[in-house]
Amino acid sequence: MKFTVSEIAQMLDGTIVGNEKITIDSAAKIEEGRPGCISFLANSKYEPYIYTTQSSAVIVNKDFVPKKEISTTLIYVENAYTAFTILLEEYQKRIAGGKTGVEQPSFIGENSQTGENCYRGAFSYIGKNCVIGNSVKIYPNTYLGDNIEIGDNSVIHPGVRIYDNTIIGKNCVIFANTVIGSDGFGFAPQTDGTYKTIPQLGNVILEDDVSVGSNSTIDCATMGSTIIRKGVKIDNLVQIAHNVEIGKNTVIAAQSGISGSTTVGEQCVVAGQVGIVGHITIANKTKIGAQSGLGKSIKKEGLSLSGSPARDLNEHLRSMALVRRLPEIEERLKDLENKHETSDFQGQ
């Protein structure tokens, strides 16, 4: 698919300085560009590359003033990064085109219905009483159980497993091999040392605009619902246990795990490999650093936490710096002890 610089500038409401007739067929980082590519410059750290880039065009902020000669064509816009993103989205939409129709063999149970303009890939399985909205894409090799609802425009990637009674909103994206709604990990210890399974009868609700990465797991509630609120973004290999609730627009990076019945606030940022214990509440806008372990409720909004157990980021950094210096600290302690012994001796 090809665009001229002129078409792109029009799409982005931008102003061209250079050759408006050049044809663009791909996108690249400014430092990796080649003829036919378009790039962007938003972070001044990358400015040196604009004087040497092989890209045919570069989108720049409207206040950009070149310090040297530039051979590439420039497109000035309000915000280069945003404009570039819009461009990529437009590009992606056009190439994705949008699969529709039903590939065979595929399976759909009694009383299940799909809206208009849907795609059901080969070897996809849909159980009974499911209600699938318009323009939903269900890729090959997926499994949907019974009584499932999926809102308009949502995309279920290959190998996704969705258990009975799950409700998924509009514009959600679930990437490959993620499992939604399998049993929470609930076992009651018996006096003979064995464990009895606690039935997990609840479901999972994903509100609109939720994205879940690949190979993640979101367990159904024991009773009631595990709830992922509107706009939440979850990365790969993340574990969300039963009865968890994740607040609006919270972001959770790869390999983090949230234990049962914990409520995470809105607009939180959970970095990678974080662990959060069960039955706690985390205030809105909390930021939790990578590999942290959170063991207690956080009541104040907007804190930055780190460490395991997690605490205030700056305090954690200060303690970690001192841990590094422990050999020196012990040396100083020894020095003092020696002086004391000497002075005790002298004092005798």
Catalytic sites, residue numbers: 242
Q: Which of 116, 197, 297, 302 is in the footprint of its own copies by CB under 8 A? A: 197
Query: Please, which of residues 145-164 interact with its own copies by CB under 8 A?
Result: 157-159, 161, 163
Q: Does 272 contact its own copies by CB under 8 A? A: yes
Taken in order 183, 185, 188, 190, the sign of the CA dihedral is positive
Q: Does 267 contact its own copies by CB under 8 A? A: yes
Query: Least separation, in Å, of the C-beta of 330 and its own copies?
Result: 6
Q: Does 329 contact its own copies by CB under 8 A? A: yes
Contacts of 127 (CB under 8 A, 6+ apart): 109, 112, 144, 145, 146, 147, 148, 164
Q: Which is nearer to its own copies, 157 or 170 (CB)?
A: 157
Q: Which of 15, 19, 71, 85 is in the footprint of its own copies by CB under 8 A? A: 85
Q: Which stretch binds its own copies (CB under 8 A): 5-13, 17-25, 241-249, 297-305?
A: 241-249
> Could you tell me if 126 and 132 are in contact, meaning their C-beta atoms sit under 8 angstroms apart?
yes
What is the rounded distance in angstroms from the CA atom of residue 190 to the CA atom of residue 260?
Answer: 21
Q: Does 66 contact its own copies by CB under 8 A? A: no
Q: Does 128 contact its own copies by CB under 8 A? A: no
> Could you tell me if 282 and 268 are in contact, meaning their C-beta atoms sit under 8 angstroms apart?
yes
Query: Least separation, in Å, of the C-beta of 3 and its own copies?
Result: 14
Q: Which of 55, 73, 112, 177 is in the footprint of its own copies by CB under 8 A? A: 177
Q: Which stretch binds its own copies (CB under 8 A): 13-21, 44-52, 64-72, 269-277?
A: 269-277
Q: Does 81 contact its own copies by CB under 8 A? A: yes
What is the rounded distance in angstroms from the CA atom of residue 187 to the CA atom of residue 204?
Answer: 20
> Could you tell me if 265 and 246 are in contact, meaning their C-beta atoms sit under 8 angstroms apart?
no
35, two tokens: 């003829």
Q: Does 308 contact its own copies by CB under 8 A? A: yes
Q: Which of 4, 54, 61, 82 is in the footprint of its own copies by CB under 8 A? A: 82
Q: Does 17 contact its own copies by CB under 8 A? A: no
CA atoms within 13 A on the CB side of 16: 17
Q: Which of 193, 300, 345, 348 is in the footprint of its own copies by CB under 8 A? A: 193
Q: Does 4 contact its own copies by CB under 8 A? A: no
Q: Does 103 contact its own copies by CB under 8 A? A: yes
> Could you tell me if 108 and 126 are in contact, meaning their C-beta atoms sit under 8 angstroms apart?
yes
Strand partners, 275: 257, 293
Q: Which is nearer to its own copies, 149 or 183 (CB)?
A: 183
Query: Please, which of residues 209-238 interact with its own copies by CB under 8 A?
Result: 209, 211, 213-217, 219, 223-224, 231, 233, 235-237
Q: Which of 143, 167, 207, 229 is in the footprint of its own copies by CB under 8 A? A: 143
Q: Which of 43, 195, 279, 296 is in the footprint of its own copies by CB under 8 A? A: 195
Q: Which stretch binds its own copies (CB under 8 A): 8-16, 59-67, 69-77, 319-327?
A: 319-327
Q: Is 26 helix (H, G, I), strand (E, B) or coil?
A: strand
Q: What angle do CA 265, 240, 138 make, to 5 degrees?
A: 110
> Could you tell me if 222 and 242 are in contact, meaning their C-beta atoms sit under 8 angstroms apart?
yes
Q: Burial level of 197, CB count in 10 A (0-12/13-18/19+)?
A: exposed
DSSP readout, 269-301?
EE-TT-EE-SS-EE-TT-EE-TT-EE-S-B-ST
Q: Which of 22, 167, 254, 283 is in the footprint of its own copies by CB under 8 A? A: 254
81, two tokens: 């990064």
Q: Which stretch binds its own copies (CB under 8 A): 5-13, 49-57, 169-177, 297-305?
A: 169-177
Count of residues making up the chain:
348
Q: Does 287 contact its own copies by CB under 8 A? A: no
